Structure formats: structure tokens, C-alpha cells
Amino acid sequence: MSTKQAVTKLPPQSSELRRRAEYRWSVSKFLWKAVSSRYHPLLAQLVVTRRCNLSCGYCNEYDDYSPPVPLERLRQRVAALARLSTAAVTCTGGEPLMHPQLEHVIRAIRDHGMIATMITNGFRLNRTRIETLNDCGLQEMQISIDNLEADEVSMKSLNSVESKLALLAQYARFKVNINSVLGISDERTEDALIVAQRAKHYGFYHSVGVLHDETGTLKPLSRKQFAVYRQIGGHSGSLTHKLNYHLFQKNLILGEPNDWKCRAGARYLYICEDGKVHWCSQRRGYPNKAIVDYTREDIRRQFHTRKGCSPSCTLSCVHQMSAFDEWRRPQGLPDPHPEDS
């Protein structure tokens, strides 16, 4: 029997063990890049479509008309990220499940040896789509749930997607994280606690963020919201949640700035639908350079550039990717747009 034939006849449990081993290996490579180098991106968020099927009042990262980014352009951007030795790529939007060829993008990410994840509201999930995401190699999905019942501020409600969570619990072979946001309204604060409990019920991970305005800076939490935040941390059991709290979110929630070195544009890349690199989704406009033309020198420059908006930044993904280099030397290049901070 040939090796190829042997592989195709592996029982389902062997396939699952192999998938888990591949994920552990990917995480090991990620951590090695984090500690052994400075000028490799750790995470890139890649917008595959700006369009979304929802219209949440607090969101400024979508529209209801843009076409999906053509697949060939996305493949070129994925190849450019691989050329820069990027560790992980997250497909985002808008709503990435509105891209009809999303699975091909994820497969391209995996074929280049990078971790493939996505952020979604979950509304368009069904069993067929979940199994397709399994087959293309998706390794992690984050679903955003903000409340129990949809309202004018957020349509991402538990009531709307609980049936999707049950499907994921039954069929998904990738890691699932449920993320909720505190600070939307005092009346719905305890909804986040119930969302965390339901995530635990389904065997999923859970994280919580604090609401930011259109610049990515904090909208302060009330005393009630802060109390629920602490409760959620107890349910989460997540090391990442605890580190986020102690390193960044504790000061922000108390209305105090953080003193840290933001490595956006270097360790973290945000690539808009036009294929250009920006510091993050909330600070678009710089460096504003096409990812296909991005170089190691661009990464080096942004790594050493101070960001005046960093003291009040609430973007956890940027915090996490920057934390690996906090011990490295101070950033000697000034913010090119200090008036915008």
C-alpha cells in the first residue's frame, strides 16, 4: 500500500490527532518567531470584504455595498505576508463569511505554513459551511456576541446565533472563541456574563474587550461594567484574558494611560480591502503602503516608531502582539502624525 493510500484510510480519530499536532506545531513556530526575532509580523488582519450583513451602531469597520476583494488579489496579499515570514493571518471584514471564496483564502494561508483564523458574527454559519471551513484548514474562529437580544447599538446577539453555536460544538474541528464587548450600555452589562457562561457550556473559549471609539481609544466603564468584567475573568480561565487585564485593561478601565511600545505596522499588520497596510483598523492612513510592496525595512521602521495614540489604545490584538517586544530597546523614531493622537 502506498503512503498516499495509507493516509486516505486513516480513521477519523487519527485525522483529528494529526490536526491537533499541526496546530501545536504552528503555535510553537509562532512563539519561536515572537522571541527569536524582531522584524517578522506575528499577526496580520486581512480584510476580505468591507461589506457586512449587520449594521451595529457602534461599528465603523463595514459598509453594506462593497464587493468582495477578488480572490487572486487576496492570494497575492497572502503570498506577500508569507514572504515577510508572518506567523498568523486573520480573515476579517466587514463579515468574512460574505466572501464566496473565503475557504480558498484560508487554504492559501495554510499552504504557506501560516496559522489561519477568522473573525465573524456567525450569522451565515450552517453545517455545510462549518465542514467546508474544517476541510480548508481553518484553525481558529472568533465569534463576536455583544448582548442577549439585538438592539439599535448591536445586532450581534446570543439569541440570534445560539443555534450556530450548537452546530459549531458538534461539527467544528477548529478552536472557537466567543468574544463580547463591555461598555455598550449599562443596561446590557450583565448580558456579557451570560454570554461567557454559554461559551463555557459549549466548551468554547471566551474573551471580553472594552468598547473603543472611532480612534481606538477607551470609552470608560461604569462601576457595574467593571464588576462584571472581573466576574467574566473568573469564568474564562484564560491566561490571555488575565495577562490582558494586568498589562493593559486594568489601567484603561480605571481611566489611566498605559506606558507601552506599540509595534503596529511591524508585529501587527492591518491590511484594508485596498491591500494597504495601516497601523490598525481605527488608525487608517499610515503607513498606507501596499502589502505586496511592503519590505523588511518598512517593518523595521514601524517597529521603532512611537505611536502617540498608544497610551489609551484598547485594541487587544495589538497589545498582545506588541507584548513580546516590550523588553526591547525604546522606540527612537517619532510619531509621524502626533496631531492625530
Residues 150-186 have pLDDT tens digits of: 777 677 788 889 999 999 999 999 999 998 876 555 6
User: If phi over 0 gives left and psi between -120 and 50 gives alpha, with beta otherwise, what is residue 260?
Assistant: beta
CATH 3.40.1280.10, domain 37-340, yes or no: no
All structural domains of the chain with their residue ranges:
37-340
DSSP code at position 158: H
Nearest alpha-carbon partner for 230 in 208, 256, 214: 208
- Residues 93 and 47 sit within 8 Å (Cβ to Cβ): yes
For the stretch 284-297, pLDDT in tens is: 899 999 999 999 99
Q: Are 75 and 105 in contact (CB under 8 A)?
A: yes
Do the beta carbons of residue 318 and residue 268 sit within 8 Å? yes
pTM: 0.87
- Does residue 12 have a pLDDT over 60? no
Q: How far is CA 256 from CA 185, 192, 218, 224, in A?
A: 21, 23, 10, 18
206 close to 179: Cβ distance less than 8 angstroms: yes
| Cell numbers 484598547: residue | 314
Cis previous bond, 183, omega within 30: no
Q: Where is 295: in which H helix or E strand? A: none
CA neighbours closer than 13 Å in the CB half-sphere of residue 75: 9
C-beta of residue 51 within 8 angstroms of C-beta of residue 65: yes
DSSP 147: B
Q: Which amino acid is at 218?
A: L
Report residue 216's pLDDT band, with 50, 70 and 90 as the boundaries.
Answer: very low
Q: How many CA atoms lie within 13 A of 28 on its CB side?
A: 6
Q: Would you call 200 exposed, middle or buried from its count of C-beta atoms within 10 A (0-12, 13-18, 19+)?
A: middle
Exposed / middle / buried, residue 96 (Cβ in 10 Å: 0-12, 13-18, 19+)? buried
pLDDT of residue 281: 87
pLDDT in tens, 32-59: 888 888 999 999 999 999 998 877 766 6
164/126 Cα distance (integer angstroms): 7
